[in-house]
Amino acid sequence: MPEKQEYEFVVDENAQRLDKFLAQKVPEYSRTYLQELIKDGHVTLNGKKNTSVKQELSSGDLVGLSLQPRPGFNLEPKKVDFEVVDVQADFIVINKPAGLLVHAPANRSQEITLVNGLLYMFAELTDLLKDDDRPGIVHRLDEDTSGLLLIARNERGKNKLGRMFHDRKISKTYKAVVSGHTPRSGRIDFAIGRHPTVRTKMSHQAVDGKPATSLFSVAEYLTGATLLDVKIITGRTHQIRVHCSSIGHGILGDLVYGVSSRFISRQALHAGLLEFEYDGVMYRYELPLPEDMRQLVAALGIVESVQEEN
């Protein structure tokens, strides 16, 4: 765990983006860790705080880095309960249960997570630990969101899948139960960024919001609620939860952005469909609603005719 240290670097003629520049200057630390420092405001550019990982540098720029102590993460292989949906040479597809962290944040560094379970079940993932405490994790689901998660199995898979997510070549569709009756279909384009005062939350009204797009269509109208299919074009933190809230139809059970429900104890959000092409082969994975969301739908009841609320 590094101690707090202060660095200053002058950019030479080989200018490049900020995270790559720092990775070259302090190669003993992973780029993932350096990206966290940038996002958390521990890097300056020409004396001003800079939180953009992709900031392009110019020759002569002065970059300041405040290296922060980092907790040691619990990366011991442990048996964890989750379903393996498919195993391919370069990747694994799992069904993550609600209530399981994908990987530990700094303030919960010793908790048992999906990463512990993956290391227990797939020993080859230890090869990815050399510069990453999130081996194989190329995208995430919130702790209380269930469903399909794609895991890289090796360095090739990590790099290729990472590019595919970046280039939006992986299609992800979720099931969500939201309050009220939505239009039959719609598009939400609010940018999403960190909440200005509550750091653990995201907001569609953030000053530094990044473009985000969600497409939704009605699967079923329920009593006082709607079961939606939501396809995300971008992959921002808490995107569906924030977007649903932004149009006045918060997710049931979501105590941060949505509305409480006596029929479910977590956000009613499930990653049910995953589609992509890999090495010329099309892959499609689909999961039914988990039991707690089936019970929620049954308790609310399907209605045949509704008055759309907006």
At residue 4, the pLDDT reads: 65
At residue 133, the pLDDT reads: 67
At residue 1, the pLDDT reads: 43
Question: Which of the residues are catalytic?
Answer: 142
Q: Tokens at residue 264, please?
A: 């479910």
Query: What residue ranges define each of the domains in the chain, with the CATH number in brackets?
Result: 5-67 (3.10.290.10), 72-167 (3.30.2350.10), 168-310 (3.30.2350.10)
At residue 220, the pLDDT reads: 97
Confirm if 217 and 229 have CB atoms less than 8 A apart: yes
Q: Between vectors from CA 298 to CA 272 and to CA 213, what angle results, nearest 5°?
A: 35
Pairing of strands 146-152, 269-278: parallel
For the chain, residues with pLDDT lower than 70 are 1-4, 28, 69-73, 106-107, 109, 130-133, 199, 308-310
H-helix segments, the chain: 18-25, 31-39, 114-121, 155-166, 239-246, 291-300
